[in-house]
Structure 1
């Protein structure tokens, strides 16, 4: 199993409860499938197996996460969570990302 498959397996496990929400669906962005709220992606797995989530810029700093970098540019509201941080941290941050997108998505 490669890093991405391993990450996808973990994301599937830690988002089991979130997928039960009627407004959560599988979406596609940045060339990857992930989970969305009313069409807006909040969590997916990068090609190297890290969790990528959308959170407010200040919260990313508080959590001491790195920003996702795309074409050499850090994306200010997208953070990466290493696989090594563990399933519990992934679950907590995925729930927080869902709540953030749920709040700002009409």
Structure 2
């Protein structure tokens, strides 16, 4: 395997840092909600409710959220998100939304999706069979 050029890994770290900063801003609005907490995962701060993952930033700076399957499918179909792979298969409820564009443009979408993920995860909705 060829090594990753230093400038590419620097860019990836910068994208992840910018994604984390945006998630931090968005998650601040949810800090007072019941069960909401933050903790370190995959080298960044993730958002949790009642110990369950709500949202985090992946290695490329994309927002990763858990949504109802229909909403996740809609985001993928419109090209806003991609399915997250869990093992060999794409997850039905987990999607990644790239950090493409200025933070001011992304903030409303990320805020909406993080809140939707919080609502979905905290509802304790049973997993689809």
TM-score by length of 2: 0.72
Q: 1:79 to 1:89 in 2, by over 3 A?
A: same
Q: CA RMSD in A?
A: 2.0
Larger fraction in strand: 1
1:76 alignment partner in structure 2: 92
Could you say which residue in structure 1 is the equivalent of 2:111?
91
In the alignment, the residues of structure 1 paired with residue 40 and residue 113 of structure 2 have an alpha-carbon distance, to the nearest angstrom, of 19
Say if 1:53 and 1:12 are closer, same or farther in 2 by CA, change over 3 A: same
Residue range with higher mean Cα deviation, 40-49 or 66-75: 66-75
Determine whether 1:34 maps to 2:32. Answer: no
Structure with the greater alpha carbon radius of gyration:
2
- Long gaps (5+) in structure 1: none
Alpha carbons 1:37, 1:101 under 8 Å: kept? yes
Aligned residues: 105
In the alignment, structure 2 segments of 5+ residues that lack a partner are: 1-12
Shift of 1:28: 4.6
Q: Identify which of structures 1 and 2 has the higher relative contact order when contacts are C-alpha pairs closer than 8 Å and 6+ apart.
A: 1
How many angstroms apart in 2 are the aligned matches of 1:70 and 1:41?
A: 14
Find the residue that maps to 2:17 and give its secondary structure: helix
- Are the equivalent residues in 2 in contact too, given 1:7–1:50 (CA < 8 A)? yes
